[in-house]
Amino acid sequence: MPFPLFAILAAHALQAPAAIAPNTVDPAAAKAAAVVDRFHAALEAGDGKAAMLLLADEALVFESGHVEEGKAEYQALHLDGDIAYLRGVKDRTLSRTGRAAGKLAWIATQGQTSGTYNGKPVDRASTETMVLRRIAGQWRIVHIHWSSSAR
């Protein structure tokens, strides 16, 4: 059974510091942010196996109104498409904010994606939120929410 996202966010809200400056990753969330970076690097390198190691089994992925419930479903339905997409485009981070408290962290990133995919130009503004949970001493991604729009 997937870990309920509302429970993650509610627990985090109760434990998180009251304020964090925009475009700042709280030092307590630095290792979680590094996991997000490793996930992206694995996708960009076409290494789906490495990317999957960073997802929790119950990971919930939201993108463009679609939902993959669990790591296995994301791998079966979405992973190859994400890798193919990233072969033709480049993502540039514009800002990132993150917090961690206890076993929970969130990393929110704004960026730009540009390049060519399926022979068509891509120029999009993007937002990403990842929620991570420390599992057996390691940060693992339990929720991804990707959104983008034409620039």
145 in a domain, yes or no? yes
133 in a domain, yes or no? yes
Rounded CA separation 131/151 (Å): 26
Rounded CA separation 12/30 (Å): 16
Residues 114, 116, 82: CA angle, nearest 5 degrees: 80
95 in a domain, yes or no? yes
Instruction: Give the full edge-to-edge strand order of the sheet including 104-117.
Output: 66-69, 55-63, 138-150, 120-135, 104-117, 89-101
Q: What is the pLDDT of residue 22?
A: 65
Domain count, the chain: 1
Q: Domain of residue 146: give its range.
A: 5-12+25-150
Q: What is the pLDDT of residue 151?
A: 87
59 in a domain, yes or no? yes
Rounded CA separation 60/8 (Å): 12
19 in a domain, yes or no? no
94 in a domain, yes or no? yes
20 in a domain, yes or no? no
Rounded CA separation 47/99 (Å): 27
> Mean pLDDT for each 10-residue chunk of the chain (151 residues)?
49 49 85 97 97 97 91 95 93 94 96 94 96 97 95 87
Q: What is the pLDDT of residue 64?
A: 83
Q: Residue holding tokens 């475009």?
A: 23
Taking a C-beta distance cutoff of 8 angstroms, is the pair 41, 28 a contact?
Answer: no
CB-count burial class (<10 Å; 0-12, 13-18, 19+) for 143: buried
104 in a domain, yes or no? yes
CB-count burial class (<10 Å; 0-12, 13-18, 19+) for 61: buried
CATH number of domain containing 92? 3.10.450.50
Rounded CA separation 145/105 (Å): 14
